[in-house]
Chains A and B, each alone.
Chain A
Amino acid sequence: MNESFARPLVRESTIANALVATLIVTLILMIGWPLWALLSKSLQDGTGAFIGLANFRTYFSTPSMVAALVNSLWVAALTTTIVVPLAFVYAYALTRSRMPGKGLFTALALLPIFAPSLLSAISLIYLFGNQGFLKELLLGHSIYGPIGIVFAESCYCFPHAVMIIATGLRLADGRLYEVAEALGTRPSRVFFTITLPGVRYAAISAAFVVFTLVITDFGIPKVIGGQFSVLATDAYKQIVGQQNFEMGAVVGLVLLVPAILAFFVDRHIQKRQVALLSARAVPYEPKPAPGRDLALTLFCLAIASVLVAMLGMAIWASFIRYWPYNLSLTLANYEFENFEPGAWGPYLTSLKMAGLVAVLGTALIFTGAYLVEKTKVAAPLRGIAHFLAMLPMAVPGLVLGLGYVFFINTKGSPFGVLYGTLAVLVINTVAHFYTVGHITATTALKQIDPEFEAVSSSLKVPFWVTFRRVTMPISMPAILDIAVYMFVNAMTTISAVIFLYGPATKLASISVIHMDESGATAPAAAMATCIVLTAIAAKLIHLVMDKLVFERLQAWRRR
């Protein structure tokens, strides 16, 4: 028996601490340091000398730059005002009505998530451009500019808003409605006194998310912005067009402000929301109301049609021989060797990149979340790791991408070798989407009995064995979720990687931008179509695998 008391060479807690410390260093390198590089760059001149806030003064005294800032703000505000109410009604229909086909409507609302943001902008050009067949609807206004941006951004942000608000609506306590009904309260009064207050936090949260998404999106204004400049395209113009890194850094920091603001407001609201949740609620069961259901169905049908049209138009356009003079169908636009120096190369690079992001990113995120959540590590380490994991949420992809540019490109940086490599694209994309994966993993881990680790240590089984034998298999659904989320986002992302790709590592989404830039809109639509179909295929494979994992490999879930 005595042998079992023996103190091992290295204690488990030491190993856990070392692993978390490694995680922290990794996250600092991936997230913290690039941000620091961005910040310090904004305070330097072209030669790297510290010049304080001079760049900011230049920024705010250059009328065209301030104009872009103002443009960004009002476009984002307008989009938010349009999207949130629409998303509210849509989410209301999904959660509070007896509308038929809720599953289908949910899936349709999520469609834009699987496409690069600029896809809807490309569709808009075909629909409302100067040769668009719905052009008359614009009454002489041009789709190039704020109208197009707001329209396309609304489509792009819609799923995010719907998901957040629907989650809020699902939290409703059915008993409140029963009480109200028992008291004979009018439906309108119920709506204003119970429904709206209940979903208030979710709506505010959605508003901030939409605002941030719009203000930091690059693809849409690039494609359909016309002469209308915004912050995101300004940053690109400074960095890529004029190689003016210092001013690019300033724009990046300006972009960071609303995002960080949104992040903290959201954190605050989430806390309130938890308090609402903790009351033992009874799920709300909508009562039949044919009038309401019909109206909501028509509404959802209209919205879903727009979303489908946005996707469908681009796909159709990708097969058109010569818009608008020859509408016969052809596969010629998919012969990328005629439009893109890398031919199909960018698509394959995207696949490779997304695959690596899904595999490596998920491994890092899940293991990291496990270490933070389940092992006995020193409390300060846990706190720092958690903070770093939550940080990317507050950092728009564009800003992170800029940070990476400076981080890698500063003279004498040991990471200079990463310049333009697939590795840096993978690392940056993992960092960009880290937080959502981390939250998913943490939520799943929190649902696992906290005593598993205690039992294991009593049985002298080290935590990594329990991680492999128990925690990981149990968390398989969450792990798959994270992997697919990472894959889909890696396929569609533009804003961060546009600054980082190299000659051999151009991605499909960047190729879309370049082809569109040179006027090859149809091939751009074709490449975007390839991205969408791949992302949707990944999701479908996920659904099938989920079924398989649940029903075959996880026999233990059955009673």
Chain B
Amino acid sequence: MKSRLFQGASLCVAALSVFASAALAQTRTKLTAYTALENDQLPPFKAAIEAAVPDVEIVWVRDSTGVITARFLAEKDNPRADLVIGLAATSTLLFEKMNLLESYSPTGADKLRPAFRDGAGDYTWTGTAAILAVVCYNTVEAKKANAVAPVSWDDLTKADFKGKVVMPHPASSGTGYLQVAAWLQLMGEEKGWAFMDKLHDNVAVYTHSGSAPCVQAAKGERMVGIGFDMRGAREKTNGAPIDLIVPKEGVGWDVETTAIVKGTKNLAAAKKVADWTATKGANELFSKYSAIVAHPEVKNAPPNYPAEAEGKLVKNDFAWMAAERDRILKEWVKRYESKAQPK
């Protein structure tokens, strides 16, 4: 009897505490953030934001850059996001042009490196970190195939690599698009497409995610992966037999950005989160996942990261990249869609 009573009481207490914590959660403002950050970045980012801005709770909606961008555009009449965090500048620029972003300059944004600041028109987005595309080259597989390590993009079109190259689909992956845009800017439209036509013959598959190519190269599933820089470095640190190669012509890059969605019901809270992204503390967190971050005082040399990469960034015209995104992707799909991995 007694134990029954006790059980009952403890059940009540348990129930009450559940309600209490639910009630506590209720008092925090839920912010829905659309993001293309890597999966493993999300928990620490959420924890850091919620520690810095205690009255918000971050709810992530994550997918690859292309998917999140398409989703954001599809919902433009009825936005469901409060913020975008960690989305490529080419996408946020597009949103800015469509007048979908709130004009706000976070405190301290003026101290950030110029490339990481919204340079034109209303100030809507703030960069956090750079994403680069590098070549992940599996040395074990290369040895088996007697292949010579590539030093330039053109090397990748050699017969050695037939069916052994994997790169991200530019329509869904931000890494994919920034590299396609880089080739077109480096070589010019005509030569750029001609190069991609030749590369296409060597590509085994265009993956949905920007991480996948270096992972596949790391595991020897493919010999060469053109993919997200930090993923490659991480795989190498984990013991993968890969080299991270920076082709001599230069590599593509983009900036991950934060912006507030126009019409959010939680503007005040969103501004606090935007402020946080410009702090040095936040940039220290970013630097755990990126080699190059917005804050000029935060320097970082991730293990196994190719030191020469920063010097080899192509000259990016973000405005062009954003404005031409739709056209370039259409052209790309027309030419190469048949080898795309199902998204």
Contacts and interface: CB of A to CB of B under 8 A. Distances in A.
Indicate whether A and B interact. Answer: yes
Given A237-B343, A325-B240, A325-B241, 9 more contacts: A227-B204, A236-B342, A241-B172, A325-B219, A503-B61, A514-B62, A519-B209, A519-B213, A520-B39
Contacts, number: 119
Given A227-B339, A504-B59, A241 B215 contact: no
A502 B42 CA distance: 16
Contact of B238 (A322, A337, A502): A322
A432 interface: no
Q: Which 5 A-B residue pairs are closest in the complex by CB-CB distance? A: A519-B215, A233-B342, A341-B42, A243-B74, A519-B212
Dominant secondary structure of chain A at its interface with chain B: loop
A519 B32 CA distance: 26
B43 A341 contact: yes
A79 to B, nearest CB: 17
B340 interface: yes
A64 B336 CA distance: 11
A188 interface: no
B205 A144 contact: yes
Nearest to B45: A341
A227 B66 contact: no
A504 B61 CA distance: 9
A227 B200 CA distance: 12
A341 B60 contact: yes
A338 interface: yes
A229 B214 CA distance: 23
B39 A241 contact: no
Nearest to B225: A519
Interface residues of A, number: 47
B309 interface: no
A517 interface: yes
Interface residues of B, number: 53
Nearest to A125: B221
A322 B39 contact: no
A324 interface: yes
A557 B237 CA distance: 65
B267 interface: no
A515 interface: yes
Given A222-B342, A322-B240, A517 B220 contact: no
B50 interface: no
A210 B207 CA distance: 29
A129 interface: yes
A221 interface: yes
A226 interface: yes
B314 interface: no
B265 interface: no
Contacts of A419: 80
A318 to B, nearest CB: 15
B339 A243 contact: no
A130 interface: yes
Contact of A325 (B71, B206, B239): B239
Given A225-B342, A242-B70, A322-B239, A518 B39 contact: yes
Contact of A241 (B38, B43, B66, B205): B66
Given A131-B219, A519-B212, A227 B71 contact: no
